[in-house]
Amino acid sequence: MNVIEVEHLKKSFHEKEVLRDFSMTVRKGDIFGFLGPNGSGKTTTLRILSGLTAADSGKVKILGFDVDMQTSDLRQRINMLPESQGLYGCMHTDEYLSCFAASFGDSLDKHKVKTLLEMVGLSPDDHRTIQNFSREMRQRLEIARTLVNDPEIIFLDEPANSLDPKGRRNIYALLKRLNKEMQITIVLSTHILDDVGQLCNRIGILHQGKFQYQGILRGNGKHTSKNQQFCLPQEIKENIFAGLSDECLIQPGKGLIRITLEDEGSYGMLTSRMILRTIPLTDFTNYENYLESLYLKYTGGTAVIKHHSYN
């Protein structure tokens, strides 16, 4: 079931078009990752989805509600964490959470505060003010803040941007747990591709005002087919290549032959023939089609390469 549906969205700032004919869907239970270069419109999109910024045209439905209507029912069921959030360093955790709960017309009792803090891995018995917290602790508290109204969907803009690799891993493990245990749909933007590969089940690559790619992320960021280049001695007989895919590229060179493969069948066929005929492999390059390669493909760039030499 789709919980977010966007059709033909457009948004400009000072005559600069940020989003043009932008469409997307998010399903219930997704962890959906926005990827794109700086200035591609990721933050603008999240702000429109959460009702903080109005689109120039297009339709946005969240949980069946029209975002333009700004209904109280919808506001009670979603929440957003901006990238540049305000932290009141002089407050204690219970004061901070109660402050944001009040913006939804709610009040938090001690039990609810304790539950929220423990949910994000913070101790209810830590009575220090927020200014004495580490960056990771502050980020955990911010995520707790997005849960004060028991939302069905949360929007997170660069939720681990300022953290070290260990801190990012911990925050993303927390988000996975919230998604699984509380059935919260999560939509986030980030530029940290490896983390998206580990966290998200669906992604959209935003470039030039619209999604250039939107789909399922499989296998921890790994995508589609092999793309590998073998270098073999030039004196081998050409019939070793018989029956390989038409998409294979064979390039004779100085003393060697380079062959680039793009499908599993040809890869297995060629390696089996090499083993049976004891043909030496002089060089091998693996163009790994991971998330980075996918990102570069749709935003402009080159493939990720792992090179192995057998000389």
Q: What is the pLDDT of residue 294?
A: 75
- Give the position of tokens 């339709």: 59
Q: In what order do the strands lie in the sheet with 153-157?
A: 78-81, 153-157, 185-189, 31-35, 202-207, 210-216
CA-derived radius of gyration, the chain:
25
Q: How many CB atoms lie within 10 A of CB 24?
A: 22
Q: Strands 78-81 and 153-157: what pairing?
A: parallel
pTM for the whole thing?
A: 0.75
Q: Mind giving me the DSSP string for 8-50? A: EEEEEETTEEEEEEEEEEEETT-EEEEE--TTSSHHHHHHHHT
- Degrees (nearest 5) of the Cα angle 194, 304, 244? 125
Instruction: For domain 2-216, give the CATH superfamily.
Output: P-loop containing nucleotide triphosphate hydrolases (3.40.50.300)
User: Computed from CA positions of residues 289, 293, 295, 298, in that sequence, does the dihedral angle turn out positive or negative?
Assistant: negative
Yes or no: say if 33 and 202 are a contact pair by the CB < 8 Å rule.
Answer: yes
CATH number of 228-309: 3.30.70
Full pLDDT tens readout for the chain, 311 residues: 899 999 999 999 988 999 999 999 999 999 999 998 888 899 999 999 999 999 999 999 999 999 987 778 898 999 999 886 667 889 999 999 999 999 888 888 999 999 999 999 999 999 999 999 999 999 999 999 999 999 999 999 988 877 888 888 889 899 999 999 999 999 999 877 877 877 898 999 999 888 888 887 755 444 444 456 678 887 776 677 787 765 566 767 667 777 766 566 777 888 888 888 888 887 776 655 557 777 887 887 654 444 444 44
CA distance 236 to 88: 72
Domain ranges of the chain: 2-216, 228-309
CA distance 89 to 130: 5
Q: Strands 31-35 and 185-189: what pairing?
A: parallel
